[in-house]
Structure 1
């Protein structure tokens, strides 16, 4: 800007211009090309349960507060509410007398200049609290915004017969300033017009003033190949594993409604024909793919819950339909896996259904949560407490931004585990899922240790170790083998995961999983122990085509499926295209 040699009243315009900064929000508007209110959503952790609930994961350690949520750090309802508000932004407090400024006194060197501006033009505003903040730096854009405001005030003064005209020399300088900042003023005006047009468009086309509609579309090309279908130890089968290439799809619609701006009522509907490629295809559930939504293309209610904050550090969720703890509990698994096993530790997989979840940050580094979920809540004879249920508790500790650790304990019970969620949530061998058979009432005490370590901004490691102590609550009778009530089985699982971001393109994700699916190490019914060891190797790469479309090719292989060395390895391939809308 050129130096201006002007009289004192005009110098006061320049010396006092910080008062024209109407609002820190307005002054710092990011004028970019992105549509107003647009969200950048990734497909990380899009689906890791039979019913999808999460849209994205930021691979961060969550901190629950009244304005944020773990893992699901989404606040679309609040964003839309702010965007659709018809009232103007808070532009500060109008000042009619310089004495109203809390941080300006008569001893300040610019006091007379400020008083001159207030009394002659009344075109300044203060920050909240009636503060001047005169030492604050400003940009040319901020100056242009303030100048534009003052010009409007002067114009109103000229048009009013009740107000005295500005001095002629002031108008000369104002014209010079207006000429010098003509480009900035024009740009500001054009951008404000564009923002106004976008806001008007969104107001006219909004789905609802309180509800946000989002969705996911999945297109899967899958295949499974190997020598023969897998069988459990002591079983024999010569059934070939046919190599088939399949094309399937699923759609998830998510309706998020907020009544206070801090709560969320989520209604989720799903439809699709994706085959998970489990035991009906390969002979083992170890090959299950994540996101296998198969409703025969009929629209069904996938999930329904209502959650709200507890103070500033907690959150509670109540769900009559299909909730799960990992929607709120941090799982400390950085990868976006394509397999059911690699998506999350088995410690979480048997907790699903109707019930409630509570999670609370005791400190900035320490948090704890508890959940009670059941799949029999709607059954008249069983209800919430007399059928299958899981109680899961977790303590999470994040001593730094690089490290996160969680210890999890769960208690499980099912009168018929084969007819509902089994002990390991369909992970691992058949013996691990049903150590005493499908119809034997079974309970389990499970323990899990999960961790994440951030080596760099792009490379994150993770892993887990889980142990289940299963107990037969009735007398098991499996395949002619008689057991006794109180029989116990020990089931173990572990995994190591790695996540590498921005490989080839910003937003891309390279995911690696290596581990052992749940295995029965010891069983009082000796015939249902796993004799050998299966290993899971997985590699996938998510490539973002743009903010709304990503492509994920990947594969994994299971050695000794069903922990049976007589079974040949089974390979699984997936090419998934994810659409976010």
Structure 2
């Protein structure tokens, strides 16, 4: 009996030493390799933002990370180059002695917990590499058992079986060990150089050639244009950086920095905002673009609080499938006059019915105006999607501005000058607006959309402050509509063709004489988003506005661009 105990102790000691060499602990660090998404706030799935000192490193940190994320893992020095490819080895069948031996160890020591019943799944044959992975897990479990000092030692017969399995699968175990070491090295490096464990950096850089075409600049009805339209080609760019921070994993604090020098090709260039593009122009200075905090409301809702530059369609569905290059084509005008600081709430009552409300203002930080005495917009929406192919929304908004010429105007800089300022730029103005938006999916690749919007504006002061002949309480009616279409995968997978056709906001009646739009402008737009890679896109596009400023005396205005977009 004493001889048996001595033999058992020696064998255990020898086995413990072998296990320490051949079987490192699996999965000591949990690497989140999910791609970066809006709902994910772990930055380990993308390229982390890092810094380095070129004087202290022969190879830059960025170069190291590129090696980690591209190509096969580096070959370790201690990995024998003569190891046979596991694809060339025979499978381990359920009748193989090793299969039965490992199955017995698993049942006895519970060393595989990832499958139901902590056992093999079915009776299929296993590759030697799969078998070695299971064996490695058992070796690790038994090693921990030996080191636990609880006197629950493996039986002598089991130790002999383990030694035989180690000898039989030494090649595969060595290969697994090398791969685990490589993964641990990569995890340690990424964790040591990640931007932040709670903050994700996303961004984009855009560079574009833009030009306008036409005879003369647009003017309002009753005036004849004589100023020539400049048609020089420009080259400009902009950068957007979004820092998303989470404190609970379900909330998001976004801090956005922007910089650029891209002209919007609006009134200052063409004489009308109907040609306005979606651009960023900060004079190449870095500015805070937006700042908001968003968190869940129960299991089906969301709340956002924003002191700077928020907008409802970041949460409200706009039911516009296209990716537009223009200010008009981006969304219905009923959303565009709601912008600034404030709060947004949106809640899904059912899987088909949802609703929300927002209060946004440009005057939050002004001590003389604050939340309620300055410019503000209250916007509410009910969204209904009865099927996966069709959805629509009804939107109501109330707008007020003591001086719309220095804040967000009544149509969000869309449409004619009369539409934006029906009673002048200095007259206090309010508006009740109604909008109907829809989307219809004809096929997975072809989606239609559209909207119609109506604004009933009211002069809250005498228009005479703007030099106009009118009275307090004067009213004006403004209409706008559009049809949009989106076609995916045309020419290449992930490409997007977008089309917009509509009427920019137009004043059809006004109690103030001379501020009605006599004619009708139409907006035609076509753009194509071509993916060079999954992060580089080339976007050619153009738009044309007929009868700009709803004035038939104005010749058409064309705007063309070709833009390259880099996202990271």
Of 138, 147, 155 in structure 2, the residue corresponding to residue 150 of structure 1 is 138
8 Å CA contact 2:209–2:233 kept in 1: the answer is yes
User: Which secondary structure state, in structure 2, belongs to the residue aligned with residue 242 of structure 1?
Assistant: coil
Answering whether residue 63 of structure 2 is matched by residue 76 of structure 1, we say: no
Q: What is the Cα deviation at residue 126 of structure 1?
A: 5.8
Alignment-derived partner of residue 551 in structure 1: 538
In structure 2, stretches of 5+ residues that fail to align are 1-26, 49-99
User: What are the residue-to-residue correspondences of 1:119-268 with 2, within 5 Å?
Assistant: 120-125=108-113, 145-153=133-141, 162-167=153-158, 170-171=161-162, 174=165, 178=169, 192-268=180-256
Give the aligned partner of residue 395 of structure 1. 382
> Which sits farther off after the overlay, 170-179 or 537-546?
170-179
**Shift in Å at residue 197 of structure 1?**
3.4
Q: 1:131 to 1:78 in 2, by over 3 A?
A: farther
1:274 lines up with 2:262 in the alignment: yes
CA distance 1:168–1:329, shift in 2 (3 Å): closer
Q: Work out whether residues 547 and 555 of structure 2, in 8 Å CA contact, stay in contact via their aligned partners in 1.
A: yes
Q: Distance in 1 between matches of 2:141 and 2:427?
A: 82
Name the CA distance, whole Å, in 1 between partners of 2:34 and 2:273: 42
**Alpha-carbon distance, 1:157 to partner:** 7.5
Contact 1:226–1:241 (Cα < 8 Å) also in 2: yes
- The 2-side partners of 1:143 and 1:395 are apart by 56
Partner of 2:187, secondary structure, is: helix
Q: Contact between 1:120 and 1:166, CA under 8 Å: does it hold in 2?
A: no
The Cα RMSD (Å) is 3.2
The residue matched to 1:482 in structure 2 has which SS?
coil
- Identify the residue that residue 357 of structure 1 maps to in structure 2: 344
Question: Tell me, what secondary structure is at the counterpart of 2:379?
Answer: strand
Question: Deviations 1:391-422 (Å, cap 9, x if unpaired)?
Answer: 00011111222112111110000011111110
Q: 1:461 to 1:166 in 2, by over 3 A?
A: farther
Residue number in structure 2 paired with 1:304: 291
Q: CA-to-partner distance for each residue in 1:533-566, whole Å, 9 max, x for gaps?
A: 1111111111111122111110010011001111
- 1:454-508: per-residue Cα shift (whole Å, max 9, x none)? 1112111111111111111111138754111111111111111111112222211
C-alpha distance 479-458 of structure 1, shift in aligned 2 (>3 A): same
1:160-180 alpha-carbon deviations (Å, 9 max, x no partner): 99433335884598469738x
Matches of 1:245 and 1:137 in 2, distance apart? 70
Alpha-carbon distance change, 168 to 115 in structure 1, aligned in 2, over 3 angstroms? closer
* Helix, strand or coil at the partner of 2:517: coil
> 1:362 Cα deviation (Å)?
0.5
Distance 1:478 1:288, change over 3 A: farther
TM score, norm. by length of structure 1: 0.77
Partner SS state of residue 528, structure 1: coil
Deviation at 1:80, TM superposition (A): 4.3
Unaligned runs of 5+ in 1: 1-25, 40-72, 85-111
After superposition, give the CA deviation of every residue in 1:251-281 in whole Å (9 maximum; x if it has no partner). 1111111111111111111111111011010
Q: Check whether the contact 2:112–2:118 (CA below 8 A) recurs between aligned residues.
A: no
Return 219-228 or 399-408, whichever deviates more.
399-408
**Helix, strand or coil at the partner of 2:321:** coil
1:424-435 counterparts in 2 under 5 A? Answer: 424-435=411-422
Alignment pair present for 1:519 and 2:506: yes
1:574: which partner in 2? 561
Is this contact kept in 1: 2:257–2:286, CA < 8 A?
yes
Counterpart contact for 2:35–2:46, Cα < 8 Å = no
User: What displacement does 1:122 show?
Assistant: 4.0
CA distance in 1, matches of 2:322, 2:202: 23
Decide whether aligned partners of structure 1 residues 83 and 550 sit closer, same or farther in structure 2, where only a CA change above 3 A counts: closer
Q: 1:136 to 1:502 in 2, by over 3 A?
A: farther
Cα deviation for residue 186 of structure 1 reads: 6.9
Any idea what SS the aligned residue of 2:514 has? Answer: helix
Match for residue 314 of structure 1?
Answer: 301
What is the CA deviation profile of residues 201-232 of structure 1, one whole-angstrom value per residue up to 9, with x for unaligned ones? 22121111211122211112110110100011
* Aligned 1:330-349 pairs, distance under 5 A: 330-349=317-336
Shift of residue 147 of structure 1?
A: 3.3
Contact 1:83–1:199 (Cα < 8 Å) also in 2: no
Q: TM-score, normalised by structure 2?
A: 0.78
Distance 2:494 2:385 in 1: 25
Q: Which residue of 2 aligns with 1:3?
A: none
Match of 2:495 among 477, 483, 508: 508
Larger Rg: 1 or 2? 2
2:43 and 2:201 in contact (8 A); partners too: no
SS of the residue corresponding to residue 281 of structure 1 reads helix
Q: Contact (CA 8 Å) 2:206, 2:237: kept in 1 or not? A: yes
CA distance, structure 1, for counterparts of residue 325 and residue 175 of structure 2: 47
Retained in 1: the 8 A contact 2:495–2:528? Answer: yes
> Paired residue for 2:273?
285
Contact kept, 8 Å, 2:106 with 2:119, in 1: the verdict is no
Partner secondary structure for residue 438 of structure 1: coil
Is the Cα–Cα contact under 8 Å of residues 106 and 138 in structure 2 kept in the other structure? no
Deviation readout 1:48-102 (Å, 9 max, x if unpaired)? xxxxxxxxxxxxxxxxxxxxxxxxx602314649999xxxxxxxxxxxxxxxxxx
- Go from structure 1 to structure 2 and tell me whether the alpha carbon gap of 1:239 and 1:386 turns closer, same or farther (over 3 Å shift): same
